[in-house]
């Protein structure tokens, strides 16, 4: 197929804020995990699929629950509200845990 350009599991995008390697970021409507540390405005590779340990809010999460990105606090949460859906939690985590494993759902 002549119009195929990439598999799309990762994309090179512009960091909207400083992002540590392995941290999540919301770039427009696309959520990804940075492969390397990026300064604001730097272009780098963001992974869009797979399972990742991400910083989470202070609340407990249930296995299989929907995971959302809180772009203000830059953490994953089980609270929908105005947050962006990014995937599902692969394991339960107690309140106070600082990370949770999330299986990303590719954007759209």
- According to DSSP, the residues that pair with 40 across neighbouring strands are none
Interatomic CA distance for residues 34 and 59, integer angstroms: 24
pLDDT at 101 over 70: yes
pLDDT over 90 percentage in the chain: 90
Give the model confidence (pLDDT) of 66-94 as tens digits.
999 999 999 999 999 999 999 999 999 99
Fold observed for domain 10-104: Virus Head Decoration Protein; Chain: A, (2.40.300)
User: Which of 39, 73, 43, 42 is CA-nearest to residue 56?
Assistant: 73
Residue ranges per structural domain of the chain: 10-104
Displacement of CA 57 from its chain's centroid (Å): 13
CA distance 37 to 5: 26
pTM: 0.92
pLDDT over 70 at 15, yes or no? yes
Q: Residue 2's pLDDT is what?
A: 87
How much is the average pLDDT of 24-50? Answer: 97
pLDDT value, residue 5: 87
Average pLDDT over residues 56-62: 98
């Amino acid at each position: 197929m002549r119009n195929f350009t990439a598999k799309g599991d990762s994309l090179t995008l512009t960091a909207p804020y400083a992002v540590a390697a392995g941290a999540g970021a919301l770039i427009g409507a696309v959520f990804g995990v940075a492969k390397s540390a990026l300064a604001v405005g730097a272009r780098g590779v963001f992974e869009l699929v797979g399972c990742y340990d991400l910083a989470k809010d202070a609340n407990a999460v249930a296995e299989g629950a929907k995971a959302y990105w809180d772009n203000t606090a830059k953490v994953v949460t089980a609270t929908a509200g105005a947050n962006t859906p990014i995937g599902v939690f692969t394991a339960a985590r107690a309140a106070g845990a600082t990370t949770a494993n999330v299986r990303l759902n590719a954007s759209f």
